[in-house]
Amino acid sequence: MLSNGLYPETQPWRIHAMEAPHGHVLHVEESGDPTGICAVVLHGGPGSGGSPLLRRFFDPARYRVISIDQRGAGRSRPRGATAHNRTEDLLEDLRLVRERLEVPRWLVVGGSWGATLALAHAAFEPQAIAALLLRAVFLPNAEYIEDFFQDTAGRAPAEWARFASAVPANQRHDMLGYLAQGLQEPAADGDKDLPRRLALAWWQWERTLAGGEPVSTTDVQPGRETLEALVDRYRVQSHYLLHRCWLGAPPLLDRLDTLPKVPTLLLHSRDDRICRPEGAQAVHERIAHSQLRWVHGAGHDPSHPAMASAMVTALDSYAQHGHFGDGRGP
């Protein structure tokens, strides 16, 4: 039975600590029906790690859900590691997981950065793709990345000023570069609290944009353990963004001509202030067979009732009909 528009939370029936090259160990979970439609879930960030929420879009009686914490993220080890951690490594990891779990083709479901990685995966291994469901796709171009760190669109000036105050005034022309450096392990004689201060400022700014409401300094702050996890998360994320996720040459949009002609649905909110709606429109225009559905009022929040409903509806349709429907109803 659905609760709040989502399927009940389920526990994984198998957990893998899957060894990958260069000392990385991937945390991989399988849940749902072992004989069901195989779907892989790609989390955002980069560096955010998986969440039980992402499994709740799937009917556990009809799907076999494979959740992967990407290199350096979540419960994969070493957490926060940036060595041997590029998009090309993640693509090889997806092939590794798929082959070890003996999955010839799978439905790929990704949100935000996870949707970007899904597109790169489909271009890299088109034969492995049964369908694509992409929520809030992110285009890693210089303009969009600068917009997030400099608030060039003026979405929340007061909150951006607070975010920027964590960075010395003479470094604010290159916020991302300073953050990437500051989130590394400090030197023995360095400011040991700097990574935590930067991670907290980034987290507050991201929360403001994701939910559409300013996050005040009086809001509940993350505990010490959570804050350490945020440092690792943003270390990985800044590492990727600093290099445009290694998808700049050729640009991701120019790689989409090789995508397989399989059911492809993009879900995006016009008021998403983290991943710009223009990105979803651009991807849709480059994939002739794709569908783009605008989800009203969801921002960048995957748990927003409108987005959760759109995800569940699309996945239910795919389970029943082998496609994502026409968007006019369940």
Annotated active-site positions, please? 112, 272, 300
Q: Which CATH class is domain 14-140+247-321?
A: alpha beta
pLDDT in tens, 183-217: 997 766 678 899 999 999 999 999 999 975 544 44
Q: Could you tell me the pTM of the whole model?
A: 0.94
What is the predicted pLDDT for the residue at 329?
Answer: 46
Q: How far is CA 41 from the centre of its chain?
A: 10
How does the average pLDDT of the chain come out, rounded?
93
Mean pLDDT along residues 113-125: 98
What is the predicted pLDDT for the residue at 191?
Answer: 85
| Domain ranges for the chain | 14-140+247-321, 142-245
Residue with the bigger pLDDT between 189 and 43: it is 43
3-state secondary structure the chain: CCECCECCCCCCCEEEEEECHHHCEEEEEEEECCCCEEEEEECCCCCCCCCHHHHHHCCCCCEEEEEEECCCCCCCECCCCCCCCCHHHHHHHHHHHHHHCCCCCEEEEEECHHHHHHHHHHHHCHHHEEEEEEECCCCCCHHHHHHHHHCCCCCCHHHHHHHHCCCCHHHHHHHHHHHHHHCCCCCCCCCCCHHHHHHHHHHHHHHHHHHCCCCCCCCCCCCHHHHHHHHHHHHHHHHHHHCHHHCECCEHHHHHHHCCCCCEEEEECCCCCCCCHHHHHHHHHHCCCCEEEECCCCCCCCCCHHHHHHHHHHHHHHHHHCCCCCCCCC
pLDDT in tens, 245-277: 999 888 999 999 889 999 999 999 999 999 999
pLDDT in tens, 158-184: 999 999 999 999 999 999 999 999 999
